[in-house]
Amino acid sequence: MTAQEAKARYWQTLGSSSRVFDRALKDVIIEVDAIDTEWMKNTSVVRMREREDRHVFNISTTFYFKFVDRGTRYITPRQILSKWQKLPEVRTQVQKVLSAYETWQALEKLTGIKNPKAQI
């Protein structure tokens, strides 16, 4: 596998993982009965992005998601994100993305290293 192929595989894995993350979050929202109008379920989108030397999750959802997730004086916390992070499918997808990323980065480094024998 070349570094270019590894890079393409990484981006493909990242894209397919985003779909798994989305579906898992929507399932948790339904599971904890956090839907009255289905607005939160229908507007929640999860993307995993590479930033500098780390990967972060970007979750776009309704403004009141944090109140339902963490709770307030009047709202019982549903702990949606805690439950979502513990799901086996989410953990598996994170491992797949990180593995693809590490493969790509390792091949990039190897591509940049000159053959020592050729320099003698």
Task: Determine contact, residues 77/49, Cβ cutoff 8 Å.
Answer: no
Looking at the domain assignment, is residue 48 inside a domain? yes
pTM score: 0.80
At residue 44, the 3 state secondary structure works out as coil
- Alpha-carbon gap, residue 105 to 92, rounded angstroms: 20
Q: Are 68 and 75 in contact (CB under 8 A)?
A: yes
- Give mean pLDDT, residues 40-54: 81
pLDDT at 116: 45
First-to-final CA distance of the chain: 27
Q: Within a domain: residue 53?
A: yes
* pLDDT (0 to 100) of residue 42: 79
**18-31 pLDDT, tens per residue?**
999 999 999 998 89
> Which band of pLDDT confidence, cut at 50, 70 and 90, is reported for residue 118?
very low
116 belongs to a structural domain: no
- Domain range holding 56? 3-111
Are 45 and 39 in contact, with CB atoms under 8 Å apart? no
Per-residue pLDDT band for 113 (boundaries 50, 70, 90) equals low
- Report if residue 106 sits inside a domain: yes
Whether residue 66 is contained in a domain is answered as yes
